[in-house]
Amino acid sequence: MARLEYVSDHLKEVTRAVKECRHGGLHMDGENLESFIARLQQLTGMAVDLENALSRETWNRRAAGDASMKAKREAAVLAAMQIPGTNIRLFPVVPRPRPQPGRNGGGDAA
Q: What is the pLDDT of residues 1-11, one digit of tens each?
A: 456 678 888 88
Residue 4: per-residue pLDDT: 62
> Which amino acid belongs to residue 13?
E
In angstroms, the CA 32 to CA 36 distance is: 6
Q: Report the predicted TM-score, pTM, of the whole model to 2 decimal places.
A: 0.51
pLDDT exceeds 60 at position 109: no
24-34 pLDDT per residue, tens: 777 788 898 89
